[in-house]
A and B are shown apart, each in its own frame.
Chain A
Amino acid sequence: MKIPEIGTYAISFLIILALIFLLPRLMPGDPLTAICGEEVLVVMTPELKAELMHRFALDAPLWKQFFVYLTAMMHGDFGYSYYYNAPVLEVIFEALPWTLLLVGSSLVLSTVLSIIIGIESGWRRGKITDKFLLTTTMILNGFPNFFIGIILLLLFAVYLGCLPLQGAKTPYSGLSGINSMLDIAQHLVLPLIALTLAQIPGSYLLMRNTMITTLKEPFVRTAKAKGLSEVAVRYKHAGRNAMLPIVTTTGVRVGTVVTGALFIEIIFSYPGVGLLSYNALLMRDYPILQGVFFIVAVFVILANFVVDLLYTKIDPRIGVNNAEYAH
């Protein structure tokens, strides 16, 4: 990774920080409420108010407020939720693993599935399999993810009753080890499918298109002429080249998947960051919301960074080792 690219990430990180800092201060009404959430009014005393004013330096000029804000951030102080009566970071970290599990597995699953059906579909362009896949994903594309979620919920949890209705694990079950993992997996199935299905159409179409273009490349002809097996031509030569744009967009997709997870978590009462921020929104628990914004932003940036690193591994044309062979 070259220095300027790291610079890009640093700049976007700073911009996000500044936005999160400015947002509550630009909201109409009392900035103190905007920073601490409405719940603070319940416990508000003149002493507390003075203390909070001092802590956030709300009487000082904006630049000084920003400085105070940055210092607090650096100490891991993201504020205090008066609703949960706990530090923001603590609350978020409780929800975060579930979202990471859901979003992460959905990202991986949707990418892998899109790549495979995209390769097969592009290879059989115009044939019956291709037409079937194309039509199915088009229909799928028409449904928003929460709609898919509701249908799955009704079908599998309500009517068939074969999968749990809500939550991420059975409460107070006292399960441990492998059983606990199975329990978690069972709870994960429906939200994961809902979220993944919504992701597939876009990636699949992109994969199918790049596959079709890649198949026209001269090296595909070279591979065929070498007498390689069809699977090798399709996956090793055409497929791997066609994968490149999908990998790039995966980084960008992290943001959308997280947003999608918000709805899915609400529907399935999945105790992740989405559900947390939904409740925070209802309760006007602004510190939580700001914390969530920050964490999500950081993860999106991180994900993009990882994708960039990954890309240099997949595509040798991008990366630092070119210099060794430069003419």
Chain B
Amino acid sequence: MIELRELEVRYGKRRVLHGINLTLKRGESLSIVGESGGGKTTLGLSIIGLVEGTVRGEILFDGKNLVALAEKELKEIRWNRIAMVFQNVENALNPLYTVLDQVSEPIVAHKLGDRNEAKRRAGELLSMVNLPEGRFYAYPHQLSGGEKQRVLIAMALANDPDLIILDEPTTALDALTKVEIINLILTVCKERELTILLLTHDFYAASTLSDRMAVLYAGRIVEFGPTPALLSNPRHPYTRGLLRCYPSMTTTKDLQGIKGRMEFFDDGCPFHPRCTQSIEKCREGAPRLEEYDGRLIACHRGGIIPLLELRDLSKSFDSLKAVDSIDMTLYEGETLALVGESGSGKTTTAKLIMGIFEATEGRIYLERKQILGRDKSFYQRVQMIFQNPMEALCHLFSVREAVREPLDIQKQGNREQRESKVQHILEEVELPSSETFMNKYPHQLSQGEAQRVSIARALVLNPKLLIADEPTSALDASTQAKVVKLLLNLQEKRGIGMFFITHNLALARKISDRLAVMLRGTIVEEGPSSEIISNPLHPYTKDLLKAAPTLNSNVPIVPKTTSKKNEGLGCPYANRCDKAIEVCFNEKPQLRIFDSHRVACMNL
């Protein structure tokens, strides 16, 4: 029905839209999401030919190129074929005319009926959008925000268009009104078989109103694909950043922002100054929208890169399989929480990654390259922080020496440069960089300070991957909160991938993007944190969730270990699981995919 080809819009020298290619078939719905100022409204306006800048490229509407069309012909298409529900800002409706007048106006103007006929039809439309009849003759200022939005929708439907462009139809509405409006749009569009182009920054509206979604950043489409897939598994760093900023009832991780501000670039990827995984190439040329795993992404790195991949990793100590062929992926800038009881093999996994233990079997990839040996450059990229900071820091080293040591080992810079790096990193972890503080020894520090010093020590080399083994479990609650916030802020700024080991599911929920539950050396369930928390599938995960701290006084009932012996042949949870059947004791369940989880359970 409508096809945009290499659409480009300039306001003077500023290029607001850049090489936009989109196709929308009759009856389809497409949402364009992105921050305000990204060019969404310009895109909408260019389709109805009302953009003030210069337009290049083609907008094919039923085969006609709207860009080249004369004003007179455009006028015929406007509202008759393509209508727009404008953003409900102050004065989107003319303040001097009643709403009935304004809804009937396009009917009269396009000679689809005389004044009375138009009024009658406008009245029907207003009734259809549930505006009370007493309000038909009201002026816009006498209506509430929701009522004005209804009028704008009714107005757009006046001439029975084929394509409807919705510009932020739900912004500034309260929750219940928003749902009403969304339902209204859904019913109306289905009844009339309308094609929808939705421009919004509201993911909720986009998720309910569109089948496909395009993410627009600084005038370029950076990601494009089916709406549910994009929302559950964003592949472009900007899409992920946007989703992290969006508070919803399904996200569990703390809100994180996107560093920096939006700027328009003619060269290079528009997102590169804000992107935490940008490389030299990103600065030079703008990436084209290309297909990666059934998704269109405009990124030189092919979307968010997998930072750490564990493939069939195993470690045996004699007959004990401490880690039993585990398989996990940690993406750039994300947190993968590894949750499980003590002795489940979490720390062993960390040590395998760090090279403290040699893996019996399996492969580890860092930034898509297999780790074969670990030299100094490996430890520039990967660092670790430990559970007990007092023990992790050498008693003989002052704060300065402890933080500077990695730099000394890596022989980075001269003395002054190292010194200034140390000061800088101390400030970044919110510690004083004064001479007195830097001369302190570990025993003079509090627990929280000591853990920050060890974080500073780990980060001074600017690593990409941080392995954190219970980094807060030795700290009291207030210190823990501060350390966790610090880590999340550093992640937002530097795009650090965190491999976070903890037994505290409540904590893991707040800081992780993905969660893996480990039991007796195997992963029993893995998936996006929000999914695992809201819909746990494995009985062990369910029990862990039951046992996770809440503030009501109920003590949950957790299963006791049965007398039945678990030989280690079957499911690691078999002897505690109340749903265990015969097969659970004899056969080891494999990880299987359920929606977005992977679960290893016989009973599913």
Contacts and interface: CB of A to CB of B under 8 A. Distances in A.
B93 A316 contact: no
A314 interface: yes
Given A218-B86, A225-B84, A316-B96, 13 more contacts: A219-B94, A222-B155, A223-B94, A225-B78, A227-B74, A228-B105, A228-B109, A241-B94, A316-B95, A317-B95, A317-B141, A322-B141, A325-B138
Contacts of B95: 219, 241, 315-317
Nearest to A214: B91
Contact of A325 (B78, B106, B142): B142
Interface string A115-137: 00000000000000000000000
Nearest to B143: A325
Interface residues of A, number: 24
25 contacts: A219-B92, A221-B45, A222-B86, A222-B92, A222-B155, A224-B50, A224-B78, A225-B50, A225-B78, A225-B79, A225-B84, A225-B86, A226-B105, A226-B155, A227-B74, A227-B76, A227-B79, A227-B80, A227-B106, A227-B110, A229-B109, A232-B109, A237-B94, A241-B95, A315-B95
Q: Which 4 A-B pairs have the closest CB atoms?
A: A227-B78, A325-B142, A226-B106, A219-B94
Interface in B572-599: none
Contact of A217 (B50, B79, B80, B91): B91
Contacts of B143: 325
A322 B95 CA distance: 13
A2 interface: no
Contacts of B80: 227
A248 B432 CA distance: 63
B343 to A, nearest CB: 63
B116 interface: no
B144 A218 contact: no
Nearest to B44: A225
Contacts of A225: 48, 50, 78-79, 83-84, 86
Interface of A: 217-219, 221-229, 232, 237, 240-241, 314-317, 322, 325-327
B79 A226 contact: yes
Contacts of A240: 96
A326 B96 CA distance: 17
A327 B143 CA distance: 8
A316 B141 CA distance: 9
B141 A227 contact: no
Given A218-B86, A221-B50, A327 B96 contact: no
Interface residues of B, number: 34
B74 to A, nearest CB: 8
Nearest to B83: A225
Nearest to A237: B94
A228 B106 contact: yes
B56 to A, nearest CB: 21
A225 B76 CA distance: 10
Given A221-B50, A232-B109, A317-B141, A226 B78 contact: yes
B152 to A, nearest CB: 8
B569 interface: no
Contacts of A325: 135, 138, 142-143
Interface string B70-110: 00001111111001101101111111100000000110011
Given A227-B76, A227-B78, A222 B93 contact: yes
A128 B77 CA distance: 31
B139 interface: yes
A227 B76 CA distance: 7
A227 B89 contact: no
Contact of B96 (A226, A227, A229, A314): A314
Contacts of A317: 95, 139, 141
B106 A218 contact: no
A327 B89 CA distance: 19
A322 B142 contact: yes
A205 B78 CA distance: 33
Contacts of A221: 45, 50, 86
A226 B80 CA distance: 8
Contacts of A326: 142
Residue of A219, A224, A315, A326 ringed by the most chain B CB atoms within 10 A: A219
Contacts of B93: 219, 222
Contacts of A227: 74-80, 106, 109-110
Contacts of B75: 227, 229
A218 B148 CA distance: 14
A317 B92 CA distance: 15
Contacts of A223: 94
Nearest to A226: B106
Nearest to B139: A316
Residue of B48, B138, B142, B155 ringed by the most chain A CB atoms within 10 A: B142
Interface in B101-123: 105-106, 109-110
Contacts of A224: 50, 78
A314 B48 CA distance: 31
A326 B135 CA distance: 11
Contacts of B79: 225-227
B142 A226 contact: no
